[in-house]
Each structure stands twice: as structure tokens, then as C-alpha cells.
Amino acid sequence: MTCLALAMDVAMAGEKPVTTRTLDDLGFQPIRSAPATTVSLNDTRVSAEIHGVLQEVVVRVGEVVRADALLARLDCEEHSLDLQQVRATTQAARADAEFAQFQLGRAQELARRQAVSAELLNERQAQALRTRAEVLRLEAATRSAQRRVNLCEIRAPFDAVVIERLGSVGELVQAGTPIARILDAGDLEVSGNIQQQDLPALQAAGEIRFVAAGVHYPVELRAVSPVVDQRLRSVDVRFVFTHEAALPGQVGRIEWVSGLRHAPADLLVRRENALGIFVEEDGRARFILAPGVREGQPPPMDLPGDTRLIVDGRFGLRDGDSVRIIER
């Protein structure tokens, strides 16, 4: 045997046989999920703003109503009479104001001829100012009375679904008495309970969807709550629908596709209390740490697709060991 052949045999004797597969072959982008619910941003108890007897409730539970749609009507006779009275008083005040202005004009004309005292002129000026101020006060009272008449009709503030009917016909209601509970069916978002360790992967995900009743709804992340639920050790994360929205209150799951390829979980090995995987580089085994990964979880690999992952023979390896790739 020549010296060269002997040296090759010695070198090969120190190499550990392994099999490898590329990250392109074994890697995958896992789908993770968490429980989530569709929530409405407006869950409103529509209330009366004036007192009166509830004359009619025109909606029923389950009906869809448009913004400004009539929900209920109060007996408005008292408020209509108040409006009529203040309008009549305003009309009389306008007549007084016109007469006071006429008297002021006559007094000013006489004053130019020095046929009237300064005291009388001042009195006419004050009277004209008082009557104009009274007209302004009564015009404001008229607008207030008209508003009360308008509020006899209780209307929806937005497009909504009627969830609960709270008032009954014939009931005497006061300002603030709830008449109906409505839920905004258009201004929706998804609330998901996400574990803290999953937040980085979620924030880096390229695709997020809300899945309910077998239907996938694309969503995008809106906000992450800074408060952690100590009991569940999760964070409330809010998402908004990008296209079609699910129904309010629908229960499902938030799913997201990891932006990084992951290696199979069974390739993990432990070295010096740390988990990682072995890769082959230039005939040597390199131990790549997988921080934050627990046993049984596929580790994310921010590596090129042609990286050769060591499959067979990994359990007996140490970082830096010489390896020889064999065919399976």
C-alpha cells in the first residue's frame, strides 16, 4: 500500500458517515393558528333623548336596518304643542321688535329737529335692543322645541342589525331610557388570542386569514395589545378584513403562514442544553442553534435553500466533526 492510499484510509477512518437533504427538499412553511372571534366596534343601546310615551316600535329582533332608519316613535303631542306655543310667542315678539324699531326711527328724526329729549331717544334705543334680543331668545327656543319634536322619532345611527328590543309600547320613557340594542354589521374586526411566543412569527407572516365555518376571510394585522392575559398568557391582537367580512360574533381561528422555511422537528438534537440541527459545510458538521424552539416544534431556518441538512448520523455528531456523505 502506498503512503498516499494509507493517508486516505486514515482520513476516512476519522470521518463520520451521514446522509443529507437540502433545505429546499425538506423545508416547509407551517401554518399556525389561534382562536379568534369577529367583534363589532359598535354595540349600541339606542335610547330616547326626551321624555314621552312609547307609541310604536317598528323594528323586530334580527332585522337589518340602514342608517337613519326609524326604530321607534314617541307620542309627540306635548312637544308639538310646545313648538306651536313658542312659534306664536316668537311671532308676537317680532311684531313688538318691528314697532320698537319704528318708534326709534321716529325719535331719531325728531332728535335731528331737536324736538325730543335725549332721555326719550335713549329709551327708544333701549326698547329696540330689548325687543331684538327677545326675538333672538325665542328663535333659539323655537329651534329647541323643533329638535324635541324631531326626537320623537328614534332612528338608527348607523347600518346595523337589531339584537334586542328593550322598550314596550305604552311605556313612559325618560331621556336615556334604552329602546333597542343594535349591532354595527359593517364596522367589524377580528379579535385573536395569540400566545406571546407566536407574535414574532405572526408579525412576519406574509398571509393571514380568519377561518370560520370552513370559509377563509383574508385579514391584516391592525394592532397588538400591550396587555398580557396572565391566566391564558396570551395577547389580544386585532385584525381587519381586507375583502369580504364574516358575520358579527362568528367564532373561528386566525391562521397565518410563516414567512421562514422550517426544518422537520425530528431533525432537532440537543447539545450542551441547547437545541439545534446539524448541517454539512465543506465536509464538516456545523451545529446551528434554534433559539426559542422547544422539542417537538419545527425550527425556523433563515438559511439558503441549498443548505445540506444532516439527516442520518446526526445523533453522534459534534460541532466541527469531519463527515462523509453517503448515498441512502
pLDDT in tens, 275-316: 999 999 999 999 999 887 888 888 888 888 889 999 998 898
For residue 35, pLDDT over 70 is answered with yes
Number of residues that this document lists for the chain? 328
Residue with cell 386566525: 254
Q: Under a CB-based contact definition with an 8 Å cutoff, are residues 194 and 229 in contact?
A: no
- Here the cell at position 174 is 325618560
Rounded to the nearest integer, the mean pLDDT of the chain is: 89
For residue 173, pLDDT over 60 is answered with yes
pLDDT in tens, 124-157: 999 999 999 999 999 999 999 999 999 999 999 9
**Beta-carbon contacts of residue 241 (< 8 Å; ≥ 6 apart):** 188, 189, 190, 210, 217, 218, 219
Model confidence band, residue 94 (pLDDT cutoffs 50, 70, 90): very high
- Here the cell at position 305 is 435553500
Does this model's pTM top 0.75?
no
